Amino acid sequence: MEKRIDLEKRGRQPGEITELNLDNCRSTSIVGLTDEFTNLEILSLINVGLTSLKGFPKLPNLKRLELSDNRISNGLNLLVSSPKLTNLNLSGNKIKDLETLQPLKEFKNLKNLDLFNNEATVVEGYRQKVFNLIPSLKYLDGFDVNDKEADSEGEDDEVNGNDGDSEDEEVSTDEDDELDEDDELDDEEVGLQAVYNENLEDDSEEEDYEAEEDEEEDDEDVDEEDEEEDGEQESPTRGKKRKHEDGEAN
């Protein structure tokens, strides 16, 4: 366990560490974990092989303690040096009776306790007795006193000191901003399309106007040509008439 602790420290000082995972490192007791870890909030010792909590240090800021799948049968009084504990997982251990749980009544902040797969869970009236023993307890083995299942996300928020609603509000706000941006883009596209269509209509009107002017000019040219042709047709007739008059004079 000591080597694993040194590895998990990663060059940091014990007082700088807030979360420590020592799962599956084999040891029958706590070794190498000292009172220097004053800011430790989350400690996981799952499947370590612990038979007792002997050597458990004073961890004043510890909030979550994972001790599932060990062989602990007693000694919970050694945890009282961590008064801020809110989540305690003792599932899969060797706790046989409710008397072993007596030290837990001293925890004023304990909200979640898991004793699943311990012999103590088959004691008559087990759930009600445990809730009565620990007044601060909200969830036992994942369910409240009314057998309503716990919200795992809500549990994590309590441990980390976060308010779940605030995060939802932030996400909702981001979604609203994205919708507003999409609406603005749609409005811009509609505006650009309207301008484009208006330009097309103006161009079309100009083309029609120019076409009408060209037709009028063509009509004027045709009229002038017709007048010229008429003038050419009249000239021979006049010539004949003069000739005829001249003949009569002679």
Q: 150 pairs with which residues across the strands? A: none
How much of the chain exceeds pLDDT 70, in percent?
A: 60
pLDDT(52) > 60 = yes
Residue % of the chain over a pLDDT of 90 = 60
Q: Average pLDDT of 2-22?
A: 95
pLDDT class of 151 with cuts at 50, 70, 90: confident
- Give the model's pLDDT for residue 48: 96
Give the three-state DSSP class for 80.
coil
Q: CA of 56: how far to CAs of 73, 77, 109, 145, in Å?
A: 15, 10, 19, 30
Most confident of 124-133, 154-163, 204-213: 124-133
Q: What is the pLDDT of residue 113?
A: 98
> How sure is the predictor about 5, in pLDDT bands with cuts at 50, 70 and 90?
very high
More confident residue, 180 or 162: 180
pLDDT score recorded for residue 120 = 96
Q: Decide which of 176 and 15 is more confident.
A: 15
Superfamily of domain 2-161: Ribonuclease Inhibitor (3.80.10.10)
Query: For every residue of 124-164, which 3-state class applies, written as one string?
Result: CCHHHHHHHHCCCCCEECCECCCCCECCHHHHHHHHHCCCH
Instruction: Match 């072993």 to its residue by tokens.
Output: 100
